[in-house]
Amino acid sequence: MKGTTLADGPTINTIAERAGVSIASVSRVLNGLPTRQETVRKVMAAADELGYVRNAVARSLKSRRTHQVAFAMADVGNPAYLAMLRQIQPVLKDAGYRLVLHSTDAVVADEIDVLHSLGERYVDGLIMVPLRVTEAHLEMLDAARAPVVIIGQVPEGTRVDNVRADSRTGVKLAIDHLHALGRRRIGMINGPLDTVPGAARGAAYREALGGVGLPYDEDLVQIGDFYRAEGGRAVAELLDRVPDVDALMCANDLIALGALDVLRAAGRRVPEDVAVVGMDDTDLAAASWPSLSSVSLGSAERGRAAAELMLERLQGGDGEPRLVTVAPRLVVRASTAGAPVADFPAESRTDRKESAE
């Protein structure tokens, strides 16, 4: 514990007085501009003694750069967004940017707010994952006075950098895998069709079936919601209606966990009787029993790509808007693999040392 608690932080004026030089000289020294040795010494000494720290706000006002970037998404608790955040954070940090986090709680008005507040210039740029893209979004994007990177679909011609997943190919990977395992009665448990992911995944399922020459059978499709219990209920109904189903494509991992619950209760073995594939490849997939095969839509990669696009813009890049599409990946685990893996499963990507007291 030193002692020097200062009533009100020192400024370059304080230093200038103390060192007996002008504030201009202080600024020069602090910024490493050519200055006489003697002056440098005096200024540094004064700054040290006073415990001077540069005021970031004043700097920003002058330089018109805040060295902050905002990341806005619906909910940090969602593993997909979290995976993005975990990639975005270090990329920005290494480039000297701070990360301002906005959780919009799936309220569209909040998203518009964030876009609007971009005008306040408290950040140099914004990375956003919109729930869906409304007219209001497009207007604000068009008028944005700072670079924006959108993770998700934007209409053709929107003048922003854009990073996309490819859920269509993702679903296809899963269906191809199941088909190769000999499954022919592949059900789909989806979330609401009026959501972006629900619609996309449903259509992709139908298309992928066609790709392997399987007929599309409405009876094999059950709509629920993107939650575990709801997913379980949907599976229960499907089992009732189509007892000979031998595989389930689930629209996300939570639904797939619900499927495991219900299959177990119904005495169906996974994967022997029914194979199960989830989507998003969250932490939960590796934690469940049997561990869950899951289609990764590359949240982490999308986050990284978005951060990198942003940095390029911030470093002066002002070319045409760019589009990056991230390839999906099927992670095969016990729920489709045949014999469940035992003993020592591989670390999940997010295994971390706990450090709560």
**Using CB under 7 A as the criterion, which residues of the chain lie in contact with DNA when the complex forms?**
8-9, 11-13, 20-25, 27-28, 30-31, 34-36, 38-39, 52, 54-55, 58-59, 61-64
CA distance 198 to 192: 5
Please state the closest distance from residue 35 (CB atom) to a second copy, in A: 23
Q: Which of 257, 309, 311, 330 binds a second copy (CB under 8 A)?
A: 257
- The helix/strand/coil state of 154 is coil
Minimum CB–partner distance for residue 106 and DNA (Å): 31
- Report which residue type is found at 60: S
**Subset of residues 113 to 152 that bind a second copy, contact rule: CB under 8 A:** 116-117, 119-122, 129, 131, 138-139, 142-143, 145, 152
Task: Considering only the stretches 3-11, 19-27, 207-215, 239-247, report the one whose residues sit in contact with a second copy under the rule CB under 8 A.
Answer: 3-11
> Greatest CA separation found in the chain?
89
Provide the residue type at 288 as one letter. Answer: S
- How far is residue 216 from each of residues 28, 171, 184, 208, 238, measured CA to CA in Å? 72, 14, 11, 10, 15
The residues, any chain, with a CB within 8 Å of residue 345's CB and separated by 6 or more, are 286, 291
Nearer of residues 116 and 264 to DNA, judged by Cβ: 116
Dihedral angle, C-alpha 249, 232, 193, 136, nearest 10 °? -110
Nearer to a second copy, 187 or 258 (CB): 258
Residues 329/335/338/341 CA torsion (nearest 10 deg): 90
35 binds, among DNA, a second copy, none (CB under 5 to 8 A by kind): DNA
Rounded Cα distance, 297 and 285, in Å: 14
* Closest distance of CB 91 from DNA, Å: 25
Tell whether residue 95 is a contact of a second copy (CB under 8 A). no
Footprint of a second copy on 208-227 (CB under 8 A): 225-227
CA–CA separation, 298 and 300 (whole Å): 5
Residues 223 and 195 sit within 8 Å (Cβ to Cβ)? no
Least distance to a second copy from the beta carbon of 182, Å? 25
Residue whose CB is less far from a second copy, 41 or 54: 54
- Binding partner of 103, given a second copy, DNA, none, CB within 5-8 angstroms per partner class: a second copy
